[in-house]
């Protein structure tokens, strides 16, 4: 533990740590661990879990009946079995619980997150059930996000960021978003805070967690090229790698039209998918309405306030997070907070750094240096 604390501090500040800073790191890591444990104990069981668990079960057998048995042998919530309501979704869930082949038809929608499924399979091989594997992966990467937030802020006040609903959902939802956000945050920190091009690696790897992260890849590579940090040939090669990754992954799913039909129209995987321009317009308007009534306007105001008061590195990350989130919404106009966690977390981090910057400017009282708050 002592070696881990020393490594974390040295990674952040590049040298030996004073005792008080070590203590603050210990306190922060301890609080982060408690929040992570809370997320593990109180997960959000979404219907997507059934398909992720099914994809993990496919590692052991290709028989849909056996896959179905592996998933449904565990004590699932009444919601996952469709027993809590009598609406259309509940009827579908009851049919999936009863029909192994119908349930298997949903698996390709979620096989397109290969790194996440592989992480679940690793947890499963270590002894977790196909259901609990998702809880372990979400909690693990939430804790990873907590460590990365420390690297950005080096402040005990960063625990406030961890308990924001927009952050905690990454640890509680049994989805690939925690893993995706972790990789994006690490990549952005390495690229724009540490100024090392190796940060491109986790950004490209994030496409294998969520294929829509190819949008983030394109935005970041375009920025790096415009800043003359990578050459034209490097940009083209990396873009082709990211786009080819997305195309290869999507090849094993149902395709974009089927995904939109399923997400926005509730399309059945056994039917013929259809999604028109009119359907997109309706989905966009519905998404805008949800966005307006969410926490996005408040975070947008925070973003504006923070952007003008920070130095170049974090400002560049703020700009990339905003552009990426806006483009993602246009391409896939569905609002769920977990889809935009990069924007929320980067904005919260920037707000904390901005407050610290304000206090730093006022850290001299009658010519005598005074320690600014919000520092580790």
> What CA–CA distances, in Å, run from 238 to 59, 190, 235, 251?
31, 17, 5, 20
Average pLDDT over residues 336-341: 94
Binning pLDDT at 50, 70 and 90, where does residue 23 land? confident
pLDDT of 233 higher than 80: yes
Average pLDDT over all residues of the chain: 90
pLDDT > 70? residue 30: yes
Give the model confidence (pLDDT) of 281-315 as tens digits: 999 999 999 999 999 999 999 999 998 888 788 99
Q: Specify whether the CB–CB gap between 74 and 68 falls below 8 A.
A: no
3-state secondary structure 336-361: CHHHHHHHHHHHHHHHHHHHHHHHHH
Give tens-digit pLDDT for 239-261. Answer: 999 999 999 998 888 888 888 88
**Torsions phi, psi of 269, nearest 5?**
-65, -15
Distance (Å, whole) CA 268 – CA 353: 47
Query: Which whole number is the average pLDDT over 40-45?
Result: 94
- Which of helix, strand or coil describes residue 44? strand
CB atoms within 10 A of CB 114: 18
Comparing C-alpha atoms, which of 332, 54, 318 is closest to residue 211? 332
Candidates 263, 267, 268, 266; CA nearest to 284 is 263
pTM: 0.90
* pLDDT > 70 in the chain, percent: 91
Structure tokens given for 104: 């298997």
Does residue 363 surpass a pLDDT of 60?
no
DSSP type of residue 365:
E
Q: For residue 374, what pLDDT band results from cuts at 50, 70 and 90?
A: low
- Return left, alpha or beta for 266; rule: phi > 0 is left, psi -120 to 50 is alpha, else beta: left
Who's near 115: CB < 8 A, 6+ residues apart? 176, 179, 205, 208, 209
pLDDT for 103 equals 94
The residue whose two tokens read 């040939």 is: 233
């Amino acid at each position: 533990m002592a070696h881990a604390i020393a490594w974390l501090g040295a990674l952040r500040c590049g040298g030996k740590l004073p005792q008080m800073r070590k203590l603050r790191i210990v306190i922060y890591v301890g609080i982060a661990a408690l929040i992570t444990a809370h997320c593990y104990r109180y997960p959000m069981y979404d219907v997507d879990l059934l398909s992720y668990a099914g994809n993990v079960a496919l590692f052991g057998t290709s028989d849909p009946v056996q896959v179905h048995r592996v998933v449904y042998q565990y004590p699932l919530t009444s919601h996952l079995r469709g027993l809590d309501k009598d609406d259309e979704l509940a009827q579908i869930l009851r049919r999936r619980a009863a029909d192994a082949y119908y349930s298997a038809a949903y698996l390709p929608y979620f096989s397109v997150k290969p790194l996440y499924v592989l992480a679940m399979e690793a947890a499963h091989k270590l002894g977790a059930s196909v259901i609990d594997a998702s809880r372990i992966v979400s909690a693990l990467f939430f804790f990873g996000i907590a460590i990365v937030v420390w690297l950005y802020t080096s402040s005990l006040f960063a625990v406030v960021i961890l308990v924001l609903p927009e952050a905690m959902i990454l640890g509680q939802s049994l989805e690939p978003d925690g893993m995706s956000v972790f990789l994006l945050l690490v990549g952005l920190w390495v690229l724009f805070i540490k100024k090392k091009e190796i940060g491109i690696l986790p950004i490209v790897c994030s496409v294998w967690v969520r294929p829509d992260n190819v949008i983030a890849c394109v935005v970041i590579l375009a920025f790096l090229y415009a800043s003359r940090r990578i050459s034209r040939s490097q940009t083209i090669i990396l873009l082709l790698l990211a786009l080819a990754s997305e195309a290869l992954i999507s090849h094993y799913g149902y395709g974009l039209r089927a995904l939109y039909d399923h997400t926005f129209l509730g399309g059945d995987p056994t039917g013929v998918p259809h999604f028109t321009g009119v359907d997109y317009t309706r989905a966009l308007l519905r998404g805008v309405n949800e966005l307006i009534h969410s926490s996005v306007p408040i975070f947008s105001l925070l973003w504006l306030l923070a952007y003008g008061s920070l130095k170049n590195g974090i400002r560049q990350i703020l700009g990339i997070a905003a552009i990426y989130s806006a483009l993602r919404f246009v391409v896939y106009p569905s609002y769920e907070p977990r889809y935009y966690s990069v924007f929320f977390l980067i904005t919260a981090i920037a707000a904390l750094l901005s407050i610290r910057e304000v206090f730093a400017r006022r850290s001299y009282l009658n010519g005598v240096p005074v320690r600014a708050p919000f520092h580790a």
